[in-house]
Amino acid sequence: MSSPKSLLIRQARLILPNGELMIGDVLTQGGQIVEVSSEIAATTPTQEIDAQGLTLLPGVIDPQVHFREPGLEHKEDLFTASCACAKGGVTSFLEMPNTRPLTTSQLALDDKLQRAANKCLVNYGFFIGATADNLTELLSARPTPGIKIFMGSMHGQLLIDQEDLLERIFAQGSRLIAVHAEDQERINQRRQEFAGIHDPAVHSQIQDHQAALNATQLALKLSKKYQRRLHILHMSTAQEAELLREDKPSWVTAEVTPQHLLLNTSAYQTIGTLAQMNPPLRSPHDNEVLWQALRDGVIDFIATDHAPHTLEEKGQTYPNTPSGMPGVETALPLMLTAAMDGK
């Protein structure tokens, strides 16, 4: 359906470019905003929407989601996922490669793009995943927003936890590299230390602050060595934020999730394994430091890391539960509530 030539949205709660909130009207003509004011008088035949009590803001780009098509459609498919995007105000998403099959080749990328063209209600892009032996595909596959590297919290082909393999990828090409920065060797050691404990809260101790910091330091070192564009996904710790505050080249960016801003380890007491995610939830102190880093521009933007599982899967006993938390349909309301509360 084409948009009306003139649309007037009245008395919405508006988030302005300077971050301030106001109650007012927005007039669009031909699909473009032409006026924002506390009150606008319609001078031509105009469709009007009463938005009193609702929040209006520009469409959001979510730069990290884990949708479940192909291969895991019992959890979600591209149609239902893009419906959740639209409902949550997300008009574009960038999706990660850990589907079945993995998005590690041009063939798999083409398949996803065709599926999305047939099903998605919003704009889309798909990362290509790095393996130990697909460097040629990483350099040539297109279109893609970049290369995804799982430095930890992964198994099988997508786990790249050896520095020599990481360096080979950083050294060749110019495409953006996005990293899940956790130190798999440390995680493996910590799993042995905490073996036999079924309290999901131990997840934050196994994949601890040091595991995150080790991997972020390594990714930053390689990025600086080759001046390679680097994006640090779902930053979760105060230590990582302070590292970037002290040393962040212009070609490096970072993101944070609403979960790591608004939830902390106390959530395990109330929602158990539903709070299990990678990287894990941290302390209230980490929440505060991440908020400040976001305000100061040390962290560049917010992503949801939307990664749904069924309630049956999440209801298993730790550590047999999968990590992940749905986000695209809930993240914006959470953020707006926090903003209204003065976070």
By annotation, the residues acting in catalysis are 305
What distance in Å separates the CA atoms of residue 8 and residue 47, rounded to the nearest whole number? 6
Residue 47 has phi, psi (to 5 degrees) of -75, 135
- Give which of 173, 189, 79 is closest to 130, Cα–Cα: 173
DSSP 75: T
Task: Establish how many alpha carbons lie within 13 A of residue 87's alpha carbon, considering only the half-sphere containing its beta carbon.
Answer: 11
What distance in Å separates the CA atoms of residue 90 and residue 61, rounded to the nearest whole number? 6
What distance in Å separates the CA atoms of residue 216 and residue 179, rounded to the nearest whole number? 8
Q: Which amino acid does the sequence have at 236?
A: S
Sign of CA dihedral 207, 213, 219, 221: negative
3-class secondary structure, 86: helix
What distance in Å separates the CA atoms of residue 234 and residue 300, rounded to the nearest whole number? 11
What distance in Å separates the CA atoms of residue 343 and residue 339, rounded to the nearest whole number? 5
Task: Establish how many alpha carbons lie within 13 A of residue 106's alpha carbon, considering only the half-sphere containing its beta carbon.
Answer: 8
Q: Are 229 and 177 in contact (CB under 8 A)?
A: yes
Dihedral angle computed from the Cα positions of residues 338, 258, 54 and 46, in that order, rounded to the nearest 10 degrees: 140
CA angle 198, 201, 206 (to 5 degrees): 85
Q: Which token pair is 77?
A: 């498919």
Which residues 6+ apart lie within 8 Å of 55 measured at CB?
A: 12, 13, 14, 15, 336
